[in-house]
Structure 1
């Protein structure tokens, strides 16, 4: 077999699927759920302010539903967007997109627990507070 044909049949190097520089891995999440309480502004140890809230989602049949809770943090600067989110009522149905990470901690009784934390990238209000 000629060297020309051999080069056409046998690739000499693998092709990359991406031309961007490699980054560290990360996880993205999308959640649709209801606010567990009114979001609150908290000060960090560095003097910055962040917005923290929890979102609950339900799964399973109506007579045996399970609720999952997600802790969400927003690093939005002071302004209309942050003020709008901070004014949302408990029970508001929201759509959240963000970066996810797991953390381990001990609860008040000393039992090991884990939590899924979300850093908000996008929030949309889908409906106001659920009627009572």
Structure 2
């Protein structure tokens, strides 16, 4: 007699019983999610799209590497928040605020004014958390009291 192994029943199972997405009845979709932790490079601005929809746009700067050779990347983020407290809160954040942003990322190609092919990374905010506000100018710098 052969020894029982836990894999034995699966080896005899027909291939049709295994499904790549057996946990969901919805079709598979590709997702490009981006997580950024960085500082606001500008104050968020309210703008209108060509269809008249309001969008809040801002820039998040992330830095990495050793202090003497630090590299900074700049990410443009769009937020399609409805009117109300969430949008007002986002618009009140000053430049330098440390934020955690989750967003959907996509790369778009376009032709610039000179006819050259360019590409741009677009990030649409899903969530935003304020981690730390910048120091206020009203306080004296450390060691000057």
Greater relative contact order (Cα 8 A, min sep 6): structure 1 or 2? 1
Q: Given the alignment of the two structures, is residue 68 of structure 1 paired with residue 70 of structure 2, yes or no?
A: no
Q: Higher strand share goes to which structure?
A: 1
Give 1:81-92 correspondences, 5 Å limit: 81-92=86-97
Give the match for residue 4 of structure 2: none
How far is 1:113 from its partner? 4.5
Gaps of 5+ in 2: 1-8
Deviation of 1:60 after TM superposition, in Å, equals: 0.8
Q: Which runs of 5+ in 1 are unaligned?
A: 1-7
**How far is the alpha carbon of 1:94 from its aligned partner?**
0.2
CA distance in structure 1 between the partners assigned to 2:116 and 2:72 by the alignment? 20
Aligned length: 126
TM-score normalised to structure 2 length: 0.76
SS of structure 2 residue aligned to 1:104: strand
- 1:12 aligns with 14
Structure 1 residues 16 and 101, CA gap change in structure 2 (3 angstroms): same
Q: Distance between the aligned counterparts of 2:103 and 2:56, measured in 1? A: 14
Conserved 8 A contact 1:59-1:67: yes
RMSD between aligned residues: 2.4
Specify whether residues 110 and 35 from structure 1 end up closer, same or farther in structure 2 by C-alpha distance, changes over 3 A only: farther
